[in-house]
A and B are shown apart, each in its own frame.
Chain A
Amino acid sequence: MAERARRAHRVAVTGVAARTAFGRDGAALLADGFAGTPAFAPVTRFDTAGRRTTTAATLPGDPVLADELVGAIEDAVVGTGVTTRAGVPLLLAAHADAGNAALAAEVAARTGFAGPARTYTGACVAATSALADAATLIATGRAERVVVAAGYLVEPSTFALFDAGRALSRDGRVRPFSAGRQGMLLGDGVAAVVLESASPLGIGAGGIGTVLASVAVDPGVPVDVAVRESPRAARPLAWLAGWARSGDAYHVCKPKPDGTGLARAITGALDRADVAPPEVGYVNANGTGTAFNDAAEVAALRLAGLGAVPTSSTKSVHGHALEASGLVEFVVTVLALGGGTLPVNSGYLGADPDCAIDVITGPRRAEPAYALTVNAAFGGANTALLLGAA
């Protein structure tokens, strides 16, 4: 795929923040969550009488989505190269709702970023689709910086829907890739990520001219990269080296069992970065803990040559944040690249022959050069994002 590559702006991840049931600053997520301690507890935010499941991973009290989004954005921006906010695009992801335009306007007004053109609503790949578009905006020179934020807070309607759909685990745990897994549990998740072009960052050992990397953009679209001096330098936390999306063309809500659709997204992300499967040291899986999802995902990982790569689904500790899940897991993957410890796949009871991959069931130290985060959604929508260590 290297011959397809066009020299383009390299995409740096310079700011991340995630608010989950572990708290608002990410410290407990990194400590307890990475160790495999789950944050699930009985729901107190609303009445769960009559539901098959009464458990989720929630922040205390009844937080307000706009407040949490604003807070996460402000947390993520600290230390980045973002100075003047008015021209920096903000992309949001949230549940499809008639109030999304008002939510987007409020978050933009309170943070000062350019009003979101849209809120991504595509279920469990909403946030990662926003990240993919943000990366394209930067790689093709359409924007120097983009802020992506996403939020889901556990509320009664979605809880009732997933309960009615028998998608929720009844034993209080999410057990991705494990024998005996029963399904998913919902979790609060609000996250924000700042992506910046390498050229305004002004980073790179050899000076400004060396920060251009062979990030492959489309061969049919000429990219004439402008290299200019930087106003300031921000230290990247990681590189967003590759990204790709695909569709299963299979079913309204089930993933294609042979994994071929998701495998195309994974291979596309690796190809864009010109990275071979053995170079990937960690996979943050979609891993919902449902029988058919996990088996299809394993088939995809194996097809893409990643069957031996250490893999975990951190939904096993922070729950499924639906439209925001991909952004929470992107933040987790950035932290895994820089922390020296891979997150544990919690709740594992034993091997399932349909999930023959290297599941991280206990503490494991590693410093991967590349880590992949994978998401899949209703409608057969798949995303894969490849992060490189800074």
Chain B
Amino acid sequence: MSATLSPGQVTSPVLDRVVLAEAHWPASPADTPGSLPAIAGFVLSAFNPLVVEVAERCLRAHFGPPPAGRDGDRTAIVLASVRGDVTTADAVAAAVAAGTRVPPLLFFQSNPNAVLGHVAARWGLAGPVVCASPATEPGTDALACADLLFAAGEADRALVIVADLATGRGDNDQAVARLVTARGRA
């Protein structure tokens, strides 16, 4: 027998996933790099404001203004980012190389969990918090993470965010957020 996963060994069906709301950045010509609202406590990088803005748009589309109410109790957050917050990482590396002081605020924002804590606290989302660097198509992989949370019974809904900063090669900061559930959970 092979150790690989063959079709006969897949014993749980693929979940029937439902998208409850979806939001994008940029979504219109007004969404310019300088127009992301600042987030208290987060500095220097557009990564965290980008994550918060796309999350806000998605959650408001489904829940209205925060908090999410009781539905938030079992709502997870998944964040997939191929490159992560490269602006913050580069700033820290530059300060270390130059022997200058590292700004204390960069301490917590150096990890993607921190901004999700901001979103979770504001909206009352108390499900699991998962961050990953996907090696395959980010949106698909992030939804696969949500499916595992549903399959394990760890969440009923998931706010699934994909966010990456511009690379400087003619592209833009881009993010998408989807609020998803498994059919029968909503």
Q: Which positions in A face B, CB cutoff 8 Å? A: 4, 9, 49-50, 81-89, 95-98, 100-101, 104-105, 115-123, 125-126, 129, 132-133, 135-137, 139-145, 156-158, 160-167, 200, 216-226, 228-231, 243-253, 261, 264, 268, 272, 377-381
Contacts and interface: CB of A to CB of B under 8 A. Distances in A.
Contacts of A105: 135
Contacts of A167: 107
A305 to B, nearest CB: 20
**Residue among A101, A116, A221 with the highest chain B CB neighbour number at 10 A:** A221
Given A104-B135, A117-B144, A141-B11, A379 B120 contact: yes
B5 A87 contact: yes
Nearest to A254: B117
Interface of B: 1-5, 8-13, 15, 41, 72, 76-77, 80-86, 89, 92-93, 95-96, 99, 101-104, 106-108, 110-118, 120-121, 123-136, 141, 144-145, 148-154, 182, 184-185
A378 B79 CA distance: 14
A95 B131 CA distance: 10
A338 B77 CA distance: 36
B108 A252 contact: yes
A104 B135 CA distance: 8
Contacts of B126: 246-249, 261, 264
Given A122-B112, A252-B117, A220 B184 contact: yes
A141 B83 contact: no
B174 to A, nearest CB: 15
Among A105, A160, A230, find the residue whose CB has the most chain B CB atoms closer than 10 A. A160
Nearest to B113: A379
Contacts of A118: 80, 132-136, 141, 145
Contacts of A252: 41, 108, 114-115, 117-118, 121
A100 B91 CA distance: 18
